[in-house]
């Protein structure tokens, strides 16, 4: 530390006063980003007393009193869009759901059409016109022909079409919950980035104030040049992080709007908190529940039922339909009124639908393996989401119960030793930087945990999410203001 040309007592007094001023500047720069309004109000008297004690520094220029510190923590402004509002908007307007909804209607129309009976055929014929014995010839007016469908072809086709309706309905339900998961994940991505940017903005403001205050101390020869450089470096680092977050946040809002399904939706802020209690998920129970209820698996099973019906439909196709006909015949040669009846069938001699039967059987086996593929896919998705969730949740617990308290303790001990003249203030700077970085990493871990939980909520088909039965605690306190 620098020494100035003063007597021993003067040097000691100046050192003590410099410790107070520079310590206040450093504390203002690196106050933890998650301090609550109540904690700030409770700690304010101690801050004010120290600020007043430092105003009588001998030889210091006419410096302004220490400003009241800003409250650093999550915004309490409820003007942003909420998760429930985004979910409701997505369910109403997202084209992914609209497409599958129309697919269900189309399948329902095809199922109805497949069960309809063939229309009769009416024909009018004039034979032997110009005959000498009767110039008007022989007239069949009319001849009506109706095809009689055999082998339950129509009912089987209709049942297969209804299974397609069921499969598309299950796909619609699966897409609905996938959409909910995507919206929730994008929401918490934006919320975490927004929270981080808000914290960085407030910390940077305090850092800039600390640089200004240290500049005044440097002019009064109450601080070393190295002190100022260290604060300027830290302020620039914070400014760089803030600028990066400012560039990312608009893209996160645009991505959220696109996932909701309204690409021109203007989002300037999302309202919510990262500090709500995380849901509880257990791997084996979650996987068992998903494999028992997920609509993707139900859709695959409906696909197997449909494929079986199509195999049966292909097998009965060779059974010939019967075409029956009846009509009135006027014979003008002998001036008689006659009637005609007829029946015809197709003989399945060479074409017995062998190729289509073979293709339908192959599609049945394909549908059966689709069930296994979906089961494996769901297992993988559950395992991946649970891995991310458990890992992020464990990080949040470690930061909350171990890292942040110890970083705070390190800061407090460094500050106490610095005030006693045992440490250089750069040690305090390092402790404060560690605490600030740990708090930002805690926010990142909370964001990751919520995004993973959002994916799980889609797999477990949760409509009311996150659970609102538990009271949301306030943001965790960070560095107490001395």
Residue 25's pLDDT is what? Answer: 39
231, 211 contact by CB (below 8 A): yes
According to the model, what pLDDT value does residue 230 have? 82
Task: Report the pLDDT value the prediction gives residue 92, as an integer from 0 to 100.
Answer: 95
Q: Looking at residues 197-220, what average pLDDT do you find? A: 82
Quickly tell me which residue has 């029946």 as its tokens. 343
The whole-number pLDDT of residue 424 equals 64
User: Which pLDDT band, with edges at 50, 70 and 90, does 30 fall under?
Assistant: very low
Range of lowest pLDDT (33-47, 100-114, 291-305): 33-47
d(Cα 206, Cα 50) in Å, to the nearest integer? Answer: 17
Q: Where are the domains of the chain?
A: 115-166+319-367
Please tell me whether residue 72 adopts helix, strand or coil conformation: coil
Is the confidence at residue 45, as pLDDT, over 50? no
What value does the CA radius of gyration of the chain take, rounded to a whole number of Å? 40
Q: By percentage, how much of the chain surpasses pLDDT 70?
A: 79
Query: What's the rounded mean pLDDT across residues 341-370?
Result: 96
HEC profile of 193-259: HHHHHHHHHHHHHHHHHHHHHHHHHHHCCCCCHHHHHHHHHHHHHHHHHHHHHHHHHHHHHHHHHHH
Are 155 and 117 spatial neighbours (Cβ–Cβ below 8 Å)? no
| Cα-Cα-Cα-Cα dihedral sign, residues 189, 192, 198, 201 | negative
Confidence of residue 42 (pLDDT cuts 50, 70, 90): very low
Lowest-confidence pick of 48-57, 350-359, 387-396, 437-446: 48-57
Q: State the chain's maximal CA–CA distance in angstroms.
A: 151
pLDDT at 469 over 60: no
Give me the pLDDT at residue 374, please: 97
342 three-class SS = strand
Q: Tokens for 44? A: 């304010």
Q: Which residue has the tokens 């645009």?
A: 254
Cβ–Cβ under 8 Å, residues 58 and 13: yes
With a cut of 90, say whether residue 448 has pLDDT above it: yes
What is the rounded average pLDDT of the residues 359-379? 97
Which pLDDT band holds residue 69 (cuts at 50, 70, 90)?
very low
Which stretch, 36-45, 53-62, 374-383, 409-418, has highest mean pLDDT?
374-383
* Residue 40: pLDDT over 80: no
The pLDDT value given to residue 475: 52
Best mean pLDDT range from 31-45, 432-446, 463-477: 432-446
Beta bridge partners of 340: 327
- Encoded tokens for 157: 């086709």
3-class secondary-structure state, position 279: coil
pLDDT at residue 1 above 70? no
Write out the DSSP string of 94-149: -HHHHHHHHHHHHHHHHHHHHTPPPPPEEEEEEESTT-SS-TT-EEEEEEEEEEEP
pLDDT in tens, 114-167: 999 999 999 988 887 877 777 778 888 899 999 999 999 999 999 999 999 999
Confidence grade of residue 435 (pLDDT, cut at 50, 70, 90): confident
Taking the C-alpha atoms of residue 446 and residue 451, their distance in angstroms, rounded to an integer, is 9
Residue-wise pLDDT tens digits, 166-178: 999 999 999 999 9
- 376 sits in which H/E element: helix 354-398
Average pLDDT over residues 198-220: 81
CA distance 476 to 388: 23
Site of tokens 């943001």: 475
0.85 surpassed by pTM = no
The answer to whether the CB of 54 falls within 8 A of the CB of 227 is no
Check residue 139 and give its pLDDT. 83
Task: Determine the average pLDDT of the residues in 212-241.
Answer: 84
Q: State the residue for tokens 């003008």.
A: 332
Query: How sure is the predictor about 444, in pLDDT bands with cuts at 50, 70 and 90?
Result: very high
Q: What does DSSP assign to residue 81?
A: B
Q: What are phi and psi of 443, to 5 degrees?
A: -65, -40
Note whether 193 and 252 are within 8 A (CB).
yes
Q: Residue 345 carries which DSSP code? A: E
- Give the mean model confidence (pLDDT) for residues 110-116: 97
pLDDT reported for residue 80: 85
Neighbouring residues of 123: CB distance < 8 A, sequence distance ≥ 6? 140, 142, 143, 144, 145, 327
Phi-psi region of 335 (alpha: psi -120 to 50; beta: other; left: phi over 0): left
The count of other CB atoms within 10 Å of the CB of residue 314 is 20
For 41, the enclosing helix (H) or strand (E) is helix 37-53
Angle at 284 between CA 281 and CA 290, to 5 degrees: 80
Provide the angle, in degrees to the nearest 10, between the axes of the packed helices 425-459 and 225-260: 10
Q: What is the DSSP letter of 402?
A: I
Identity of the highest mean pLDDT range in 180-184, 221-225, 426-430:
180-184
Q: Mind listing the pLDDT tens digit for each residue in 305-327?
A: 999 999 999 999 999 999 999 99
Distance CA 198, CA 242 (A): 9
- State residue 6's pLDDT score: 35
Residue 303 pLDDT level (bands cut at 50, 70, 90): very high
Average pLDDT over residues 260-289: 93
As a whole number, mean pLDDT of residues 255-273 equals 93
pLDDT of the residue at 425: 64
Give me the pLDDT at residue 384, please.
97
Cα separations (Å) of 451 from 180, 192, 338?
12, 10, 82
Report residue 475: phi and psi, to 5°. Answer: -60, 145
Q: What percent of the chain has pLDDT over 90?
A: 57
Q: Which of 43, 123, 37 is nearest to 74 (CA)?
A: 37
Q: How many angstroms separate the first and last alpha carbons of the chain?
A: 23
Q: What is the pLDDT of residue 371?
A: 97
Q: How far apart are CA 22 and CA 473, in angstroms?
A: 34
Strand partners, 342: 325
């Amino acid at each position: 530390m620098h020494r100035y040309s003063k007597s021993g007592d003067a040097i000691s007094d100046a050192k003590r006063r410099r410790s107070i001023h520079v310590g206040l500047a450093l504390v203002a720069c690196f106050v933890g980003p998650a301090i609550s309004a109540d904690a700030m109000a409770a700690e304010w008297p101690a801050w004010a007393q120290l600020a007043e004690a430092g105003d009588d520094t001998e030889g210091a220029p006419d410096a302004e009193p220490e400003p009241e510190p800003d409250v650093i923590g999550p915004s309490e402004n409820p003007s942003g869009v909420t998760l429930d509002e985004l979910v409701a908007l997505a369910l109403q307007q997202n084209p992914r759901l609209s497409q599958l909804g129309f697919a269900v209607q189309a399948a329902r129309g095809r199922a109805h059409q497949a069960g309809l009976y063939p229309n009769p055929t009416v024909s009018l014929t004039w034979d032997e016109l110009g005959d000498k014995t009767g110039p008007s010839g022989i007239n069949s007016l009319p001849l009506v022909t109706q095809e009689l469908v055999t082998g339950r072809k129509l009912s089987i086709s209709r049942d297969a079409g209804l299974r397609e309706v069921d499969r598309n309905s299950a796909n619609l339900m699966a897409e609905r919950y996938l959409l909910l998961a995507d919206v929730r994940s994008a929401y918490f991505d934006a919320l975490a980035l927004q929270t981080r940017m808000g914290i960085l903005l407030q910390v940077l403001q305090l850092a800039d104030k600390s640089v200004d205050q240290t500049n005044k101390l440097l002019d009064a020869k109450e601080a070393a040049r190295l002190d100022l450089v260290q604060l300027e470096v830290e302020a620039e680092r914070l400014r760089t992080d803030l600028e990066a977050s400012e560039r990312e946040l608009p893209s996160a809002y645009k991505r959220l709007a696109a996932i909701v399904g309204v690409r021109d939706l203007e989002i300037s802020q999302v309202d919510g908190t990262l500090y709500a209690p995380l849901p509880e998920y257990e791997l084996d129970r979650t996987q068992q529940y998903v494999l028992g209820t997920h609509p993707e698996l139900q859709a695959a099973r409906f696909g197997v039922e449909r494929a079986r019906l199509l195999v049966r439909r292909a097998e009965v196709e060779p059974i010939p339909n019967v075409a029956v006909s009846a009509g009135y015949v006027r014979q003008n040669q002998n001036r008689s009124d006659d009637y005609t009846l007829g029946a015809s069938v197709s003989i399945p001699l060479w074409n017995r639908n062998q190729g289509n039967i073979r293709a339908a059987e192959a599609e049945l086996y394909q549908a059966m393996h689709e069930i296994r593929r979906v089961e494996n896919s769901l297992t993988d998705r559950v395992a991946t989401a649970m891995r991310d969730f458990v890992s992020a949740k464990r990080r949040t617990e470690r930061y909350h119960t171990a890292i942040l308290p110890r970083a705070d303790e390190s800061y407090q001990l460094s500050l106490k030793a610095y005030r006693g003249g045992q440490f250089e203030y750069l040690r305090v700077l390092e402790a404060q930087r560690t605490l600030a970085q740990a708090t930002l990493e805690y926010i990142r871990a909370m964001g990751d945990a919520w995004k993973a939980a959002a994916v799980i909520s889609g797999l477990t088909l949760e409509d009311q999410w996150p659970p609102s039965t538990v009271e949301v605690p306030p943001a965790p306190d960070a560095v107490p203001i001395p």
